[in-house]
């Protein structure tokens, strides 16, 4: 597996680390559990990093030296792809021909390296876009920076070169065909999963689990708590959450006494230009007193934030899937989400949450008001949300990915790959 610009070992919610980091590591672990060994190559971001890390049996993370360790923006990463490819080939040379059966690249930067590696080794290339420039540019947040033409070109080249493209949803598969001319026969849909052992309601149930999580986090027991969790950048629209809350408090001023709005995450991408921009916006809107800013949380504490919330608010402008939505629902928390990308798959509208068309704060305020006016609604929808989330597991995602690998190998080698298909 190749993930050039961000390591699966990085803390999600910081820098460029997010759902893709979780996806890669969890998928690799589950693939290793079904006897598919995985080596993950990522760029070293510190001289102190060991060359090899084994986060789980059968999974190795290799840190490749390519460019300066720190301070290299994702936009400058293309200039280091040759150095990264050189490091990858050096590792391959230590093993010799035939060591790697398949290349699975993640994000377009990795896809460019993957094209060269797969061709050099004579193995299939499987690629996952995770996000696409043309899709993001068609739904930019106000003031956000468009993805560059170089990315569009790179994504098009990878789409044409890959033996198989993995899409998170049917909609993403359609976008690959429509925007990049991908062959529909070479696109497989694999829904991401969720760690159902970590992200689950409290052992005493949703209501008791919520009370226990709030006690651990120091949150008021009877408050309405709409949570934003994710990277602080225009794409994720955390500002829309604050605007919606401000509007709700204009309509329900007495609600100020019993509302807390946690924002859990750190600046990322174009959000780094104004790292304090969201705090300043809260002050301008007059809601600093009810807004709680918290740095990115580890997975265990993040599960507590989900459990403690009345509802997760996810008003993104673009989401290939929306892993945060599934994690929250697995903890028994309903979701208010934008009706974009893969979120209509991740959230069952009217059952496990509420899908909102467009990005008008008034519509999100209206959705929040339904939870404010009916406090029991959160637990009712939360039970349905937990059931819905259980249909997404990493074991299922790994099995589907293994089947996709087998198909790519069969297409490349024909009957000579039958032994691989039998094993996976």
Residue 418: the pLDDT is 53
CB 165 within 8 A of CB 182: yes
Q: Say how far apart CA 168 and CA 94 lie, in whole Å.
A: 34
Spell out the residues 6+ positions from residue 36 whose beta carbon is closer than 8 angstroms to its own: 58, 402, 405, 424
Burial 140-150 (b: 16+ CB within 10 A, else e): ebeebeebeee
Residue 119: the pLDDT is 95
Question: Which 8-state DSSP code applies to residue 98?
Answer: T
Residue 273: the pLDDT is 53
- pTM as predicted: 0.88
CB 163 within 8 A of CB 128: no
Residue 275: the pLDDT is 61
Residue 365: the pLDDT is 98
Handedness of CA 183, 108, 167, 345 (dihedral sign): negative
- Binding site, annotated residues for UDP-N-acetyl-alpha-D-glucosamine: 11-12, 19, 231, 236, 319, 327
Residue 71: the pLDDT is 75
Element holding 105 (H helix, E strand): strand 103-106
Distances (CA, A) of 129 to 31, 72, 264, 298, 305: 19, 21, 26, 25, 29
Residue 420: the pLDDT is 54
- Give me 285's structure tokens: 């809107």
Among candidate residues 211, 205, 167, 206, the one with its CA nearest the CA of residue 189:
167
- Binding site, annotated residues for 1D-myo-inositol 3-phosphate: 5, 16-21, 74, 107, 131, 151
Spell out the residues 6+ positions from residue 385 whose beta carbon is closer than 8 angstroms to its own: 328, 329, 330, 332, 333, 334, 335, 351, 352, 353
Question: Which 8-state DSSP code applies to residue 71?
Answer: S
Element holding 156 (H helix, E strand): helix 149-161
Residue 370: the pLDDT is 96
Residue 415: the pLDDT is 47
Helix or strand or coil: residue 399?
A: helix
CB 164 within 8 A of CB 188: yes
CB 88 within 8 A of CB 117: yes
β-partners of residue 338 are 356
Residue 270: the pLDDT is 54
pLDDT by residue for the chain (424 residues), tens digit each?
A: 999 988 888 765 555 556 788 899 999 999 999 999 999 999 998 888 899 999 999 999 999 999 888 877 778 889 999 999 999 999 999 887 889 999 999 999 999 999 999 999 999 999 999 999 999 999 888 778 899 999 999 999 999 999 999 999 999 999 999 999 999 999 999 999 999 999 999 999 999 999 999 999 999 999 999 999 998 989 899 999 999 999 999 999 999 999 999 999 988 665 555 668 899 999 999 999 999 999 988 889 999 999 999 999 999 999 989 899 999 999 999 999 999 999 999 999 999 999 999 999 999 999 999 999 999 999 999 999 999 999 999 999 999 999 999 999 998 877 455 545 555 5
CB 330 within 8 A of CB 301: no
Which parts of 188-237 fold into alpha helices (H)?
Answer: 206-217
Please name each of the domains of the chain with its CATH number. 2-193+393-423 (3.40.50.2000), 206-389 (3.40.50.2000)
| Crossing angle of helices 377-389 and 323-330, rounded to 10° | 110
- Give me 367's structure tokens: 């959705």
Phi-psi region of 357 (alpha: psi -120 to 50; beta: other; left: phi over 0): beta
Q: Say how far apart CA 296 and CA 339 lie, in whole Å.
A: 25
Residue 106: the pLDDT is 97
- Binding site, annotated residues: 5, 11-12, 16-21, 74, 107, 131, 151, 231, 236, 306-307, 309, 319, 327, 333
Question: Which 8-state DSSP code applies to residue 274?
Answer: S
Question: Which 8-state DSSP code applies to residue 359?
Answer: -
- Binding site, annotated residues for Mg(2+): 306-307, 309, 333
């Amino acid at each position: 597996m190749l993930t050039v610009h961000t390591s699966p070992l990085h803390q999600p919610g910081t820098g460029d680390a997010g759902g893709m980091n979780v996806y890669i590591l969890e998928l690799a672990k589950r693939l290793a559990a079904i006897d598919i060994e995985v080596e993950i190559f990522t760029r070293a971001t510190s001289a102190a990093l060991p060359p090899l890390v084994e986060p789980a049996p059968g999974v190795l993370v290799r840190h490749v030296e390519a460019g300066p360790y720190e301070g290299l923006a994702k936009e400058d990463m293309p200039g280091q792809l040759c150095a990264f490819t050189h490091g990858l080939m050096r590792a391959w040379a230590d093993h010799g021909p035939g060591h790697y059966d398949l290349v699975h690249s993640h994000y377009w930067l990795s896809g460019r390296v993957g094209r060269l590696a797969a061709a050099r080794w004579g193995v299939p290339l499987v690629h996952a876009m995770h996000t696409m420039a043309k899709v993001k540019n068609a739904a930019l947040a106000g003031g956000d920076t468009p993805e560059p033409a170089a990315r569009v070109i790179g994504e098009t080249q990878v789409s044409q070169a890959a033996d198989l493209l993995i899409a998170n949803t049917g909609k993403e598969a359609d976008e690959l065909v429509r925007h990049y001319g991908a062959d529909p026969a070479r696109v497989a849909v694999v829904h991401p999963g969720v760690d159902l052992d970590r992200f689950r309601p409290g052992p005493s149930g949703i209501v008791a689990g919520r009370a226990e999580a709030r006690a651990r986090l120091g949150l008021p027991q009877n408050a309405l708590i709409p949570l934003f969790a994710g990277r602080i950048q225009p794409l994720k629209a955390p500002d829309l959450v604050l605007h919606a809350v401000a509007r709700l408090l204009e309509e329900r001023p007495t609600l100020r006494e019993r509302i807390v709005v946690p924002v859990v995450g750190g600046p990322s991408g174009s959000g780094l230009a104004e790292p304090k921009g969201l705090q300043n916006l809260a002050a301008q809107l007059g809601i600093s007193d009810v807004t709680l800013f918290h740095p990115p949380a580890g997975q265990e504490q993040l599960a507590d934030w989900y459990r403690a919330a009345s509802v997760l608010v996810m008003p993104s402008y673009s989401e290939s899937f929306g892993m945060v939505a599934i994690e929250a629902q697995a903890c028994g928390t309903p979701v208010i989400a934008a009706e974009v990308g893969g979120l209509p798959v991740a959230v069952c509208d009217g059952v496990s949450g509420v899908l909102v068309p467009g990005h008008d704060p008034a519509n999100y305020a209206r959705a929040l008001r339904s939870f404010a006016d009916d406090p029991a609604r959160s637990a009712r929808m939360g039970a349905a949300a937990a059931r819905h989330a259980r249909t997404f597991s990493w074991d299922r995602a790994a099995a589907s990915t293994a089947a996709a690998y087998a198909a790519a190998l069969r297409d490349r080698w024909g009957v000579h790959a039958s032994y691989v298909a039998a094993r996976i």
